[in-house]
């Protein structure tokens, strides 16, 4: 545990990483005997979490588990495990699936592929009344609520979701207000449906007993793959070998593994920008960032030139450069993966827009 940090704050930082909380007493957590892993889950099937990867250093004697701060759910770290439980939902074996994980892990993509476009997919911003209407129009089909955190934080939303996630195969849902609006759209105030629900979210908090009751009806899955696992999964669809290899050598520097790093770097590269420096600025700062940028800059052909540039820009001394350079080295050689995926085609709409602008303003870009 970092010096000066209280135990409660230590666990709050861990929980903020997993973005999940609950007070279900049947789940426990404890620090592993080696002081490097945190066990999350039921006592019979707890899963270890690597504390060193989060920047913590602790010993078993320095931390005492607090019973009121626990995380309940299945902890998954591999995509093959996630695909199994998502497949179970797609087959109809699970009535309610709550899929919790950080952004950019491909959770929505995996669920879309498993459902083959047969679900009612709601994302972005949907009101509770809007959800009721969609449930009527898509009754008996799976319902996916993607990043709609506002639904489970409102009383009406929780009531509707509790009705929809009853354990019975045929559920009764109702809406007894806004009758004129329902009549106008020919929607009944009560109907039956066999729809099952999947909730995809970046954070899940047991705000009250109603939310806890909703969570208890289903299966909460915490998906937290390693950077190497995300990297290997990205290879299945990503196309730029240079960007891919650059990130492979710096996986240990990423604060959060995300497939979006790869796409963002490729977009910057395609735009002719210094994509290496901009990508490194997402995970480093100060003199460490400067060292990483100098080592990634192809204009410098030797360490002597990089050291000179480091000192000239005010990064520090020669010894500071080499100390930081040593700390930035990967702990082990990155995995070697060859990509075989074609790049995405440019949208035809972009070319049409350019032709239209040329007709209006002569040569494109000259106004």
Write down the pLDDT at residue 42.
37
Higher pLDDT pick, 4 / 273 = 273
Query: Is residue 31 a contact partner of residue 52, using CB atoms and an 8 Å limit?
Result: no
Q: Edge-to-edge, what's the strand order for the sheet holding 27-31?
A: 27-31, 37-42, 47-50
Query: Is residue 132 a contact partner of residue 160, using CB atoms and an 8 Å limit?
Result: yes
Residue 55 has pLDDT above 90, yes or no: no
HEC letters along the chain = CCCCCCHHHHHHHHHHHHCECECCCCEEEEECCCCCEEEEEECCCCEEEECHHHCCCCCHHHCCCCCCCECCCEEECCHHHHHHHHHHHHHCCCCEEEEEECCCCCHHHHHHHHHCCCCEEEECCCCHHHHHHHHHHCCCCCEEEECCHHHHHCHHHHHHHHHHCCCCCCEEEECCCCHHHHHHCCCCCEEEECCCEEEEECCECCCCHHHHHHHHCCEEEEECCCHHHHHHHHCCCCCCHHHHHHHHCCHHHCCCCCCHHHHHHHHHHHCCCCHHHHHHCCCCCHHHHHHHHHHHCCCCCCHHHHHHHHHHCCCCCHHHHHHHHHHCCCCCCCCCCCCCCCCCCCCHHHHHHHHHHHHHHCCCCCC
Residue 35 has pLDDT above 90, yes or no: no
Report d(CA 252, CA 247) in Å as an integer: 9
Query: What is the DSSP pairing of strand 197-201 with strand 96-101?
Result: parallel
Share of residues in the chain with pLDDT > 90 (%): 41
Q: Which residue has the tokens 């973005």?
A: 19
User: Which residue, among 20, 25, 36, has the nearest Cα to 66 in the 3D structure?
Assistant: 25
User: Which residue, among 281, 277, 282, 278, has the nearest Cα to 294 in the 3D structure?
Assistant: 277
Identify the CATH number of the domain defined by range 76-223. 3.40.50.300
Higher pLDDT pick, 338 / 47 = 338
pLDDT digits 0-9 by tens, 88-117 = 999 999 999 989 899 999 999 999 999 988
Write down the pLDDT at residue 191.
92
Write down the pLDDT at residue 177.
81
Report d(CA 199, CA 164) in Å as an integer: 12
Q: Record the tokens describing residue 250, joined without a space.
A: 């710096």
Model pTM?
A: 0.70
Mention every residue, 6+ apart, whose C-beta is less than 8 A from residue 330: 249, 250, 251, 252
Write down the pLDDT at residue 267.
93
Based on C-alpha coordinates, what's the Rg of the chain?
25
- φ, ψ of residue 315 to 5 degrees: the values are -75, -25
pLDDT digits 0-9 by tens, 222-252 = 999 999 999 999 999 999 999 999 999 999 9
Give CATH 3.40.50.300 domain extents, the chain. 76-223
- The stretch 156-168 carries a mean pLDDT of 86
Length of the chain: 367
Residue 268 has pLDDT above 90, yes or no: yes
């Amino acid at each position: 545990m970092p010096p000066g940090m209280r135990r409660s704050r230590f666990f709050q930082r861990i929980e903020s990483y997993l973005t999940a909380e609950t007070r279900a007493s049947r789940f426990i957590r404890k620090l592993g005997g080696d002081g490097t892993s945190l066990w999350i889950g039921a006592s019979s099937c707890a899963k270890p979490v690597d504390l060193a990867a989060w920047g913590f250093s602790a010993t078993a004697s320095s931390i005492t588990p607090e019973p009121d701060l626990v995380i309940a759910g299945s902890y998954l770290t591999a995509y093959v495990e996630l695909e199994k439980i998502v497949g179970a939902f797609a087959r109809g074996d699970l009535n309610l699936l709550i899929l919790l994980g950080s952004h950019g892990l491909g959770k929505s993509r995996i669920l879309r592929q498993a459902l083959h476009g047969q679900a009612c997919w709601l994302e972005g911003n949907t009101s509770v009344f809007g959800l009721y209407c969609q449930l009527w129009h898509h009754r008996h089909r799976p319902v996916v609520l993607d990043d709609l955190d506002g639904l489970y934080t409102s009383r009406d939303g929780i009531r509707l979701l509790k009705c929809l996630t009853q354990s019975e195969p045929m559920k009764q849902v109702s809406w007894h207000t806004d009758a004129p609006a329902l009549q106008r759209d020919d929607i009944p105030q009560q109907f039956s449906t066999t729809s099952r629900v999947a909730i995809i979210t970046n954070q899940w908090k047991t705000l009250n007993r109603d939310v806890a009751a909703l969570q208890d009806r289903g299966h909460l899955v915490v998906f937290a793959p390693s950077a190497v696992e995300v990297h290997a999964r990205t290879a299945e669809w990503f196309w730029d070998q240079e960007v891919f290899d650059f990130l492979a050598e710096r996986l240990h520097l990423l604060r959060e593994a995300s497939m979006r790093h790869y796409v963002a770097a490729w977009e910057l590269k395609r735009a002719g920008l210094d994509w290496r420096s901009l990508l490194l600025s997402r995970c480093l700062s100060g003199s460490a960032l400067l060292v990483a940028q100098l080592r990634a800059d192809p204009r410098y052909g030797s360490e002597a030139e990089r050291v000179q540039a480091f000192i000239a820009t005010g990064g520090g001394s020669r010894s500071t450069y080499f100390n930081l350079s040593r700390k930035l080295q990967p702990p082990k050689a990155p995995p070697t993966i060859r990509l075989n995926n074609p790049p995405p085609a440019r949208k035809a709409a972009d070319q049409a827009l350019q032709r239209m602008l040329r007709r209006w303003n002569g040569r494109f870009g000259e106004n």
